């Protein structure tokens, strides 16, 4: 029995995610999937993202019906089992027989034929339990109170919404139980596709090509795709529209306007493009340490006032000062788990210590390029204080050359110029910092701080 193209593609993507630390979102947009029909591509995406989002719960179901410990299963066998269990429990329109038989064939396709009978037996047990309504409920009931459950309240969101317990415990300590449950719930859903459009003409063109749009929640320039296929439009193919989360767009807006702007960790380029659109007369330098990502940046950002350079943010050889600097630093990405669910299974507590040290070094280096009176924005897509407030505070303690500006001031400026759509500015800040929280706000989790260099 041949394996369907969608399931084969999903298996291959998940195997690379598991064994090569690849990112699912990048692989799902690779040329490998261009050969699939729209229906097959949609199913492959559903299988990959759903399996990653619910991985710990899928493994629990497998362990309950397996004679072998999860840790002792071959990676290929485990991935095939996860794909099948996700279909059995979540995808009502897929017959159990198809889900089971094709995953058994995936095991054979991976040259693990000796495990085929084992996989078949495990999946038929799970399938029987699912048919009888005995499979664990993976999807949360709407309106349920996260603090009431048979079990410990602290661990409940982690178990119920398939997140590592250590990570959720941190969120409970920092944000409280209700917001932590909202984060976890948001992470398990397909996030909205937000876009930044550079002209009304492009908006009309998109509508003419069958793309349905709703106004953004945070910015007046943002739109949310509610229908149609954006990727098939001329504007998307030619770089006239950018898929960019609204919180990411807001970070770029905080940078403001200037004549010389530095984006020191620029790839993949969505914020660079936003800076160029807001500052068409400025000279913008976009730096990226990795050559292949710098090349991607050149392909994505077509603005003539952007110079892309390959270089380490810690040692950029640039002449003259910049009146605006963006340091959107590499981070854990815990604010983007709805889009990058594999992150939660890879991240370890020690990683936050290493990231903090790198982020402090990058911010210090970035500030050295700031002209007197200039403004810098430090940002991450992380929810973790070690990567956010702690970085800014450590840098400020070491020098009196920099001053922290309350983000409310910059957000109020955006409100007055009718760029900010959000009505309640206080909902977007935590102390002097910008702070968006998935599930609390309709966007990814971002942090930003605005600093100025004293004259």
**Catalytic one of 184, 264, 381, 443:** 381
Distances (CA, A) of 437 to 268, 311, 393, 442: 22, 32, 21, 8
The reply to whether omega before 268 is within 30° of 0 (cis) is: yes
| Partners of 375 in beta bridges | 324, 452
The C-alpha angle 84, 89, 95, rounded to 5 degrees, equals 65
What DSSP state is assigned to residue 302? Answer: -
Nearest to 273 by CA among 259, 286, 287: 286
Pairing of β 322-328 and β 429-430: unpaired
- Contact yes or no for 157/181 (Cβ under 8 A): yes
Per the structure block, which two tokens stand in for 218? 């945070």
Neighbours of 30 (CB within 10 A): 12
| Angstrom distance (rounded) from CA 170 to CA 165 | 9
- Contact yes or no for 418/446 (Cβ under 8 A): no
Active site includes 265?
A: no
| Angstrom distance (rounded) from CA 441 to CA 445 | 8
- Contact yes or no for 271/300 (Cβ under 8 A): no
3-state DSSP percent of the chain in helix, strand and coil, to 5:
50, 15, 35
- Contact yes or no for 452/371 (Cβ under 8 A): no
| Angstrom distance (rounded) from CA 351 to CA 301 | 31
Per the structure block, which two tokens stand in for 194? 């937000």
Instruction: Match 């000279």 to its residue by tokens.
Output: 283
Nearest to 344 by CA among 187, 193, 175, 192: 187
Query: SS3 of 230, please?
Result: helix
Instruction: Match 């034929």 to its residue by tokens.
Output: 113
Q: Which residues are catalytic?
A: 381
């Amino acid at each position: 029995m041949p394996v369907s193209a969608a399931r084969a593609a999903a298996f291959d993507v998940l195997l690379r995610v598991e064994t090569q630390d690849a990112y699912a979102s990048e692989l799902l947009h690779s040329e490998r999937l261009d050969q699939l029909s729209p229906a097959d591509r949609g199913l492959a995406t559903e299988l990959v993202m759903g399996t990653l989002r619910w991985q710990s719960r899928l493994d629990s179901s497998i362990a309950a019906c397996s004679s072998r410990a999860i840790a002792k299963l071959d990676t290929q066998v485990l991935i095939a089992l996860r794909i099948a269990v996700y279909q059995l429990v979540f995808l009502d329109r897929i017959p159990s027989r198809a889900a089971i038989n094709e995953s058994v064939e995936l095991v054979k396709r991976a040259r693990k034929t000796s495990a085929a009978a084992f996989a078949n037996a495990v999946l038929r047990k799970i399938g029987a339990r699912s048919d009888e309504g005995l499979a664990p409920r993976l999807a949360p009931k709407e309106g349920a109170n996260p603090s009431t459950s048979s079990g410990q309240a602290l661990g409940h969101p982690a178990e119920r919404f398939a997140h590592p317990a250590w990570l959720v415990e941190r969120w409970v300590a920092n944000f409280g139980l209700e917001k932590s449950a909202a984060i976890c719930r948001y992470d398990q859903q397909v996030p909205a596709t937000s876009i930044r459009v550079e002209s009304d003409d492009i908006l009309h063109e998109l509508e003419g090509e069958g793309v349905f749009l709703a106004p953004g929640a945070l910015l007046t320039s943002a739109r949310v795709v509610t229908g149609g296929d954006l990727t098939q439009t001329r504007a998307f193919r030619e770089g006239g529209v950018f898929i960019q989360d609204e919180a990411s767009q807001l970070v770029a807006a905080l940078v403001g306007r200037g004549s010389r702007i530095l984006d020191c960790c620029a790839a993949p380029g969505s914020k660079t493009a936003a800076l160029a659109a807001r500052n068409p007369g400025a000279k913008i330098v976009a730096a990226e340490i990795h050559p292949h990502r710098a090349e991607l940046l050149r392909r994505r950002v077509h603005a003539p006032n952007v110079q892309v350079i390959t270089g380490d943010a810690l040692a950029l050889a640039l002449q003259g000062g910049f009146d605006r600097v963006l340091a959107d630093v590499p981070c854990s990405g815990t604010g983007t788990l709805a889009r990058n669910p594999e992150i939660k299974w890879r991240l370890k507590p020690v990683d936050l210590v290493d990231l903090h040290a790198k982020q402090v070094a990058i911010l210090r280096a970035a500030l050295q390029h700031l002209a007197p009176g200039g403004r810098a924005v430090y940002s991450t897509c992380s929810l973790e204080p070690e990567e956010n407030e702690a970085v800014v505070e450590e840098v400020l303690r070491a020098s009196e050359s920099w001053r922290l500006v309350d983000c409310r001031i910059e957000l109020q400026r955006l409100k007055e110029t009718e760029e900010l759509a959000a009505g309640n500015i206080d909902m977007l800040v935590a102390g002097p910092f910008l702070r968006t929280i998935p599930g609390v706000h309709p966007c990814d989790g971002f942090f930003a701080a605005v600093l100025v260099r004293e004259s």
